Structure 1
Amino acid sequence: MDPIPDSRPVRHDVDREAMPPAAMVLALCTFMFFAALDTGAKYLVTAGYAAVFVVWCRFLSHSVIAFVIFQGWRQADMYRMQNRPLQIVRGMLLPLTTLFNFLALRELQLAQTVSIFLSVPMIVTALAGPLLGEWAGPRRWAAIMVGFVGVLIVVRPGTDVFSFSIIWSIMAAITHSLYSIVTRKLAIRENQMSMVFYSSIFATVLMAPPALIYGQLPSTTFEFALLACLGVFGMSGHALLVKASRLASASKVAPFIYSQILWMTALGYLVFGDVPDLWTMVGAAVICLSGFYIMNRERQIARRARLLAAGR
């Protein structure tokens, strides 16, 4: 997922400052919108809408909103690609992630899918070595192993809890991890407008044929509005994330991703009456602790590298 670019300059001293309350509120609201996106998708796929159609509607509205916000009729930079092959790969990974996630949501509780999805930082850390040359040390590898134990607690292979929907959720975590790595590689040269626009437009085009075949017209005004709002939820989350990142450093904002499990659990209970079982919550706690450690460790390594570069 890409943040929406902001025209204001990024502050470079945020690492040394306490996190402002406004940034905390924005970060919490960011992941509330992402939880609302999954909640709306689950409502629609359990109501009988094809997952591929819901994905297509989500990116169609996303593309329209991005075109309007970026004023695509006058922004030539939005259409420039420095690395076309990687942009295409990235544009395929994002809809695949969303499709796998929405397929999982047909049967799984929101708390289950988000618990598995929170393993993404660990998967990214593991894959960044062979794909980016950013090798993790023994401490981070230990944290990765602990995180995967947490995933096993949630999915419980060999029990009745394990199902094909669990596999869809794991696939969503893997494809999103690859998407994050490709995004990191592209961000060096590509402008953010191009990355946001093409990720949504590729998804819209790729998903159009099966969506039009398996899709159906909304039967109620509420369902029509919900389909249209999926893109609004996604773009709103991205907009708030970038605003939070301009008030506080990324290392301070990143841990708030784990607030999503609170939003998902609350929405799952309010909308669907779902209550996660004890093992799901235990596994989620293990995953969160592992993720916190990895983020903190990477922040320490980055800070050490900055100090060495400054000659201190």
Structure 2
Amino acid sequence: MSSLLGQLPDDVASARRLRVTAILLMIGALLLFSLLDSTAKYLTMGNESPLQVAWLRYLFHVVFVSVLLNPWTSPGVWKTRRPGLQLLRSVLLAGTTIFNFAALASLQLDQAVTIAFATPLLVAIFAGPMIGEWVGRRDLIVIALGFCGVLAVTRPGFGTFEVAFLLAFANAVCGAFYNIATRFVSAYDSAKTSIVVSGFFGALVLAPIMPFIWQWPESPWIWVLHIATGLFGATGHFLLILAHGRAPAPVLAPFIYLELVFMSAWGWLLFDDVPDRWTLIGAAVVIVAGLFLLLRGKARATDPLE
């Protein structure tokens, strides 16, 4: 008994170290995703098509992922048990990328990411009819308040509404269905297989469009930025895999909202954009709603009567 008690502190310390490592990996992934969006905004502001920027992002994503995850380093990683579901998931992921990049051409980074934070609220709504995870009455009230936060950012009817807001919301809708599809496919394929296949299918789906919209990047610097989008995306997703392998999702989920900090910082440093009062108010409302739903989900997981 004494030996077991003596080992307990080491086990607890090891678990804490794993969680700290997972949180740092999560923060690193979010930093890379904010760099991806900032780079995409710069490219689309230079009049490149969001479709072309998205395709090159996935093309270079496949190149970088193939170096890390290939048949020699990870045997079987390119084999999926549900190719149709993976294709659907990849189309949804490509949709999030295209809508997001198109919105970023006009919106500030902080505005785009705040609207994207509606994704968990939409997941809570769609998860009921699609996978049987219904939300309660209090959850629906919180979801409604969360969407009020999105309305605070877009302010429809007050002379500041842009089509780009609809594109940003379409990104959130695609993101919600993508998350639900990921839950389905995770029962059949590993996270490594999903990251490899989604990038490959994403590039494959967009390839037929390229001959109609392609324009050669105007300088070597623009090529460097395109390569960087693939590097940021691939590495960010790889860090996410490592993070979720070291800590459960509820531990990591609250840190998603740090992306607003990163996006606001890059917006100020790179584009001289500063969040306005309504964006900050809307972001606060959406974040509080998302965290409430997260805590409610944890409560239901530990208390079946909740």
Fold match, TM over 0.5? Answer: yes
**1:225-236 matches, cutoff 5 A:** 225-236=224-235
Specify the SS of the correspondent of 1:150: helix
| Equivalent residue number for residue 177 of structure 1 | 176
Q: Is 1:258 matched up with 2:257?
A: yes
Distance 1:69 1:202 in 2: 18
Distance 1:242 1:111 in 2: 25
Distance 1:19 1:71 in 2: 26
Specify whether residues 237 and 13 from structure 1 end up closer, same or farther in structure 2 by C-alpha distance, changes over 3 A only: farther
Query: Is the 2:80–2:193 contact (alpha carbons within 8 Å) kept by the matching residues of 1?
Result: yes
**1:163-202 matches, cutoff 5 A:** 163-202=162-201
| Equivalent residue number for residue 147 of structure 2 | 148
Unaligned 5+ residue runs, structure 1?
1-11
**Identity rate, percent:** 35
TM-score by length of 1: 0.88
Quote the offset at 1:210 in angstroms: 2.1
| Equivalent residue number for residue 236 of structure 2 | 237
Query: Is the 1:77–1:193 contact (alpha carbons within 8 Å) kept by the matching residues of 2?
Result: no
Unaligned 5+ residue runs, structure 2?
1-10
TM-score by length of 2: 0.90
| Equivalent residue number for residue 93 of structure 2 | 94
Quote the offset at 1:197 in angstroms: 1.7
The count of residues paired between Structure 1 and Structure 2 equals 295
Quote the offset at 1:240 in angstroms: 2.0
Query: Is the 2:70–2:78 contact (alpha carbons within 8 Å) kept by the matching residues of 1?
Result: no
Deviates more, 1:45-54 or 1:189-198: 189-198
| Equivalent residue number for residue 53 of structure 2 | 54
Quote the offset at 1:66 in angstroms: 1.7
Quote the offset at 1:76 in angstroms: 5.5
Quote the offset at 1:62 in angstroms: 0.8
**1:259-278 matches, cutoff 5 A:** 259-278=258-277
Specify whether residues 64 and 18 from structure 1 end up closer, same or farther in structure 2 by C-alpha distance, changes over 3 A only: closer
Deviations 1:161-219 (A, max 9, x none): 21111111110100110010011011111233332222111110111122243222222
Specify the SS of the correspondent of 1:77: coil
| Equivalent residue number for residue 8 of structure 1 | none
Query: Is the 1:19–1:252 contact (alpha carbons within 8 Å) kept by the matching residues of 2?
Result: no
Cα RMSD of the aligned pairs, angstroms, is 2.3
Specify whether residues 215 and 73 from structure 1 end up closer, same or farther in structure 2 by C-alpha distance, changes over 3 A only: farther
Specify the SS of the correspondent of 2:245: helix
**1:44-123 matches, cutoff 5 A:** 44-72=43-71, 77-123=76-122
Structure with greater Cα Rg: 2
Amino acid at match of 1:276: P
Deviations 1:293-312 (A, max 9, x none): 1111111212235x99xxxx
Distance 1:278 1:250 in 2: 31
Specify the SS of the correspondent of 2:259: helix
Specify the SS of the correspondent of 2:216: coil
| Equivalent residue number for residue 29 of structure 2 | 30
Quote the offset at 1:28 in angstroms: 1.8
